[in-house]
Amino acid sequence: MVVFDYFEGVLEGFEYLIALGSIVGLLWIIIGIIFLIGGGQRYRNKMIGVIIASIVLLAVCGLDTGIKYFRIF
């Protein structure tokens, strides 16, 4: 039926966004740690916020959701 196809598409969209959030959170935490270690004082203050935001994003989306969805490993 048309209604079920619509809801299936919406759920696939949510699944994609959650997987994308997982990958972005993982990327942000890696970049944040690199700039936290090697960056100047100006970067360190900003990167602490980036790391906290990425931890929250990973907590919401899940750590391995994006890796499984996009079949990275």
Q: Distance (Å, rounded) from C-alpha 20 to C-alpha 32?
A: 18
pLDDT classification of 50: cutoffs 50, 70, 90: very high
Mean pLDDT, the chain, integer: 89
CA 11 to chain centroid: 18
Identify residue 6 by its one-letter amino acid code. Answer: Y
Q: Tokens 């619509």 — which residue?
A: 6
If you average pLDDT over residues 19-43, what whole number do you get? Answer: 91
pLDDT classification of 39: cutoffs 50, 70, 90: confident
Q: Distance (Å, rounded) from C-alpha 12 to C-alpha 29?
A: 26
